[in-house]
Chains A and B, each alone.
Chain A
Amino acid sequence: MHIPDGYISPTTVIATYAVAIPLWAYGFKKLKEKLNEETLPLIGALSAMSFIIMMFNIPIPGGTSGHAVGAALIAILFGPWVSFISVSLVLLIQSVFFGDGGISALAINSLGMAFAGAFSASFTFNALKDKKFSPFIAGWISAVGASFVIALALGIQPIFWTQNNQALYFPFDLQTTMVALVGSHMLFFGVVEGLFTQFAYSYLKEKDKIKDLSYEN
């Protein structure tokens, strides 16, 4: 889920931007190191792929829907910083051009789907090394990790910002967001992210194995 404007308090907005801005600045530096004529089409196309994957809204029981992100695949292929910046840019475009996710919520959406999504995938993949199902597990962890950050940001809203017993921003508590968001990602969207990462990675990695290694770190 992309958090829209008005779902999180101004304090949360400021705090999340304060965390995200230095990370974006550092991430751009890391991206520059990897971006050249050769990697441009790859990183550009993978980012567009992330954009399109997020358009696949998958309905699940309970009247809600969700989507994969594609952060894990980019993180495995080009490292977590490139993935973090790429997915953040996807979220920026979605927010500005398509009204999907608020601009005030861009920082928290990026910290969840892009930062947590990319780094959890990267750590998991590196820890597991070249096991057969490493991409699946990295993808699953990535989606669950992202949903955890989003659930946390939403769930703390009614704890701190309530007036006359009415929530000012997002009204459901932590327990509800954790069960609904993290739970649904463990059961459904994480599996989709995992399957996508596994298939895309196997498909892309096949044959030109040696060449690909040059993109890593």
Chain B
Amino acid sequence: MKTKIFILLGFLAVLAPLGLISESSAWGEWENEYYKELIGYIPKGIENASSLEAPVPDYTLNGFNDIVSYYFSAILGFILLYGIFYMLTKLMHKKQENNGTL
């Protein structure tokens, strides 16, 4: 199953830029002006929302085209997620060695 999962993952990763076809986002997810046009005001909570600055906002890498950014994001996502599970597995093993139990 392992090889197959990675083949499937690779296949989907190669196709990832197809996700860029859609221009429209859901309910102004990335654009507050959307509400102004639709209901005449921007809800206060939405307007004043404080968010942390994301390093790669909306999967877009500054200065690179969309497709490069998207591939970069896919690879970064893979590294981060696989890394988390890798660390979890390692941490558990250390614990096991120390205690002799789970």
The reply to whether B89 and A35 form a contact with Cβ atoms under 8 Å apart is yes
Contact A171 B35 (CB under 8 A): yes
Query: What residues of A have a CB within 8 angstroms of the CB of B100 in the complex?
Result: none
Most chain B beta-carbon neighbours within 10 Å: one of A44, A58, A64 = A44
Please, what's the 1-or-0 string for A13-43, where 1 marks a CB less than 8 Å from any CB in chain B? Answer: 0000000000000000001110111001111
In Å, the complex CA distance between A52 and B11 comes to 10
Given contacts A42-B1, A53-B12, A97-B55, contact A48 B78 (CB under 8 A): yes
Q: Give, as a whole number of angstroms, the nearest-CB distance from A183 to chain B.
A: 13
A 178-216 contacts with B by CB, 8 A: 200, 203-204, 208, 211-212
A7 within 8 A of B: yes
Interface string of B60-82 (1 = CB under 8 A from A): 00000000001001101110111
* Interface residues in B, total, Cβ within 8 A: 58
- Across the interface, do B50 and A5 meet the contact criterion of CB distance under 8 Å? yes
Decide yes or no: A66 and B49 within 8 Å by CB, A32-B102, A44-B82, A46-B5 being known contacts.
no
Of the four ranges (under 10, 10 to 19, 20 to 34, 35 or more), the interface on chain A belongs to 35 or more
Chain B contact residues: over half helix, strand or loop, or mixed? helix
Cβ contact of B77, chosen from A41, A93, A99, cutoff 8 A: A93
* Contact of A100 with B86 in the complex, beta carbons under 8 Å: no
CA distance in complex: A107, B53 (Å)? 19
Contact, CB under 8 Å: B89 / A52 = no
B-chain residues with CB within 8 Å of residue A102 when the two chains form the complex: 49, 51
Q: CB within 8 Å of A: which of B41-58?
A: 41, 43-58
- Chain A residues with Cβ below 8 Å from B70 are 55
Q: Choose from B25, B41, B43 the contact partner of A65 (Cβ within 8 Å).
A: B25
How far is it, in angstroms, between the C-alpha of A59 and the C-alpha of B58 when the chains are bound? Answer: 17
18 of the cross-chain contacts (CB-CB < 8 Å) are A6-B46, A7-B46, A31-B88, A32-B88, A40-B89, A44-B82, A45-B6, A48-B81, A51-B81, A56-B15, A59-B22, A90-B81, A96-B52, A102-B51, A161-B45, A163-B44, A166-B44, A169-B43
